[in-house]
Amino acid sequence: MTTPTTRSLVDQERPRAAGSSARTATLRHASAAARLLRRLEPPLGRPTRVAEARFSGAGLTVGGVFVAASLLPSLLPRLAAVQGVISGVSLVVGYGIGTAAAATFAYLGVPRPRGRFHAVLVSGSVALCVLVLVLAAWKQVGWQNDIRHLYGMPPIGPGGWPLVAAVTVLVSAVLLIVSRSIRVGFRAVRRRLGRRMPRRLATVVGAAALLVASWALFSGVLVTGFFAGANALFAPSDTVVPAGAEPPTSPVRSGGPGSAVAWTDLGAEGRGFVSGGPDVQDINDATGGGARLPVRVYVGLRSADTAEARADLVLSELQRTGAFDRKVLVLATTTGTGYLDRNGTDPLEFLWNGDTAIAGVQYSYLPSWISLLADQEAASETSRTVFAAVHRYWSTLPESSRPRLYLYGLSLGSYGVESILGSIDLINEPIDGALLVGPPFVNPVHAGLVADRDPGSPASLPAHGDGRTVRFMSERDGPDPAAGRWGPTRIVYLQHASDPVVFFDSDLAFAPPEWLSDGQRGPDVSPRMGWFPLVSMVQVLLDLPSAGSVPMGYGHLYSGPANERAWVAITDPPGWDDAALQRLATTLAGRPHPYG
User: What are the DSSP calls for 73-138, one per residue?
Assistant: --SS---HHHHHHHHHHHHHHHHHHHHHHHHHHHHTTPPPP-HHHHHHHHHHHHHHHHHHHHHHHH
Quick check: 1 pLDDT over 70?
no
pLDDT of residue 284: 95
* Residues in Cβ contact with 79 at an 8 Å cutoff, skipping those fewer than 6 apart: 160, 546
Q: Cα–Cα distance between 12 and 477 in angstroms, integer?
A: 105
Name which residue leads in pLDDT, 231 or 392.
392
SS3 state of residue 407? strand
pLDDT of residue 80: 93
CB 137 within 8 A of CB 84: no
pLDDT tier at 210 (50, 70, 90 boundaries)? Answer: confident
pLDDT of residue 372: 75
Which residues in 255-265 are b (16+ Cβ under 10 Å) and which e? bbeebebebeb
Name which residue leads in pLDDT, 466 or 355.
355
The mean per-residue pLDDT over the stretch 226-255 comes to 77
Distances (CA, A) of 388 to 350, 359, 363: 28, 14, 16
CB 401 within 8 A of CB 427: no
Domain ranges of the chain: 57-196, 198-236, 240-453+558-565+575-590
Quick: pLDDT tens for 275-296.
999 999 999 999 999 999 999 9
Phi, psi of 47 (to 5 degrees): -55, 135
CB 279 within 8 A of CB 341: no
User: What are the DSSP calls for 301-333, one per residue?
Assistant: TTS-SSHHHHHHHHHHHHHHTTGGGSSEEEEEE
pLDDT of residue 367: 74
Report the mean per-residue pLDDT for the chain.
85
pLDDT of residue 228: 64
In terms of Cα–Cα distance, which of 70, 94, 92, 93 is closest to 83? 70
pLDDT of residue 21: 53
Distances (CA, A) of 205 to 37, 44, 290: 19, 14, 76
Give CB contacts under 8 A, 24+ apart, made by 506-511: 506/537, 508/536, 508/537, 508/540, 509/533, 509/534, 509/536, 509/537, 510/534
Q: Cα–Cα distance between 502 and 500 in angstroms, integer?
A: 5
pLDDT of residue 19: 47
Quick: pLDDT tens for 21-63.
545 555 455 455 445 444 444 444 444 444 444 788 888 999 9
CB 93 within 8 A of CB 59: no
Distances (CA, A) of 386 to 80, 294, 309: 44, 20, 9
Give, for 565, the enclosing helix (H) or strand (E).
helix 560-571
Quick: pLDDT tens for 145-203.
999 999 999 999 988 999 999 999 999 999 988 888 877 877 787 777 777 788 777 77
Burial label, 84 (beta-carbon count in 10 A; 0-12, 13-18, 19+): buried
Burial label, 495 (beta-carbon count in 10 A; 0-12, 13-18, 19+): buried
Residues listed for the chain: 596
Quick: pLDDT tens for 333-356.
999 889 999 999 999 999 999 999
